[in-house]
Amino acid sequence: MPQIGLGTFLIPKEELSRTIAEAYEMGYRQFDTAWRYHNEKEIAQALKDNGIKREDVFITTKVNRDALYFGNYKVGKRSIFNLRNFRSVKDVIQESFDNLNTDYIDLFLLHWIYPLDLTLQMYEELTRLYHEGRIRAIGVCSSLPPHFAAYADVSDVVPAVNQFEISPLNTQKNLIKYCQDRGIAVTAMSTFSHFRSNEPRAEISENAIIKSIAEKYGKSTFQVVLRWLVQQDIIVIPKTWETAHLKENISLDDFSLTQEEMTMIDSLDQGKFLNYDPTPWVKKMPAKYRDIKC
């Protein structure tokens, strides 16, 4: 799996073809999408239009419980029309293959991990496709030790990847160690973002410590943070459709942070989620899983 990939959440559809062409030219080989981003078809089209062969790229996509719901109309807090399982798990996973116009997916992730029964149905179906060879690796998102215990109860396949939020404000040291000790690769998501917005977090990009390190190396603060992740053997998938930013984000191998600088960035940790805190869902899990810790 290429260590640097391109996140595609919220990239405008009309920018995807150019962005993917430029990214490929610069050396990007991993594209991170999801059923929920409603851009799988456009990504397949962009690869085709730019003459990029399927076997030359690594595609990550995700199955989301939202694909299983039909309508979700709410009055206040009450759901008045919410047909669950109106399509089968099998069908919604197949839809990503169809959208991406491919007969195999390099990495298929569980996008979200609640409610547990649906999550595990999806994990079982991913396992079946993995054994058929149509999915080359199964992964998960935002998963904590209780979730890993639940996956092990329904499948003989340990997730190859856990994709979760990591940033200097939330360094996630325990979870990273938990995963890496078990051979589960870690992908950082939403390192810079404001949820559903394209404004990066100034708390990170304007941080005085990160800025001083960036100045020393003549790099941007984004590059310093990405380098901090890469030096922890973490896979990164920053999202941008700006040519200059695409170039910056893949230009990380001509400098290296000292141990002291790594520690300075680690020390910014506040355990603060910018977007996705999965811990509240753990409370809703069966007691046998709930108390499993990193």
Ligand X SMILES: NC(=O)c1ccc[n+]([C@@H]2O[C@H](COP(=O)([O-])OP(=O)(O)OC[C@H]3O[C@@H](n4cnc5c(N)ncnc54)[C@H](OP(=O)(O)O)[C@@H]3O)[C@@H](O)[C@H]2O)c1
Which are the catalytic amino acids? 37
CB of 63 to ligand X, least distance (A): 11
Could you tell me the CA-to-CA distances from 293 to 26, 149, 178 in Å, in that order?
41, 11, 9
- Binder among 4, 8, 47, 148 for ligand X (CB under 6 A): 8
CB of 56 to ligand X, least distance (A): 20
Residue 239 interacts with ligand X (CB under 6 A)? yes
- Give CA torsion, residues 14, 18, 21, 25, to 10 deg: -150
Residue in this structure with the two tokens 């910014």, named with its chain if needed? 268
Stretch that binds ligand X, among 7-15, 126-134, 264-272, 278-286 (CB under 6 A): 7-15
Residue 193 interacts with ligand X (CB under 6 A)? yes
Residues 6+ apart with CB under 8 A from 236: 3, 4, 5, 187, 188, 191, 226, 229, 230, 249
CB 249 within 8 A of CB 223: yes
Residue 7 interacts with ligand X (CB under 6 A)? yes
Residue 143 interacts with ligand X (CB under 6 A)? no
Tokens for 68? 């299983």
Stretch that binds ligand X, among 117-125, 172-180, 244-252, 282-290 (CB under 6 A): 244-252
- Binder among 61, 96, 162, 190 for ligand X (CB under 6 A): 190
CB of 80 to ligand X, least distance (A): 27
CB of 217 to ligand X, least distance (A): 14
The Cα–Cα gap between 159 and 140 comes to 6
Stretch that binds ligand X, among 39-47, 71-79, 154-162, 193-201 (CB under 6 A): 193-201
- Within 195-234, the residues that bind ligand X by CB under 6 A are 198-200, 220, 222
Is 61 in a helix, a strand, or coil?
strand
Closest to 193 measured CA to CA, from 166, 213, 219: 166
Closer residue to ligand X (CB): 142 or 155: 142
The Cα–Cα gap between 226 and 52 comes to 26
The Cα–Cα gap between 149 and 240 comes to 35
Stretch that binds ligand X, among 5-13, 114-122, 154-162, 284-292 (CB under 6 A): 5-13
First to last CA, the chain: 25
CB-nearest residue to ligand X: 7
For binding to ligand X (CB under 6 A), which residues are involved?
7-9, 32, 111, 141, 163, 189-193, 198-200, 220, 222, 237-242, 245, 248-249, 276
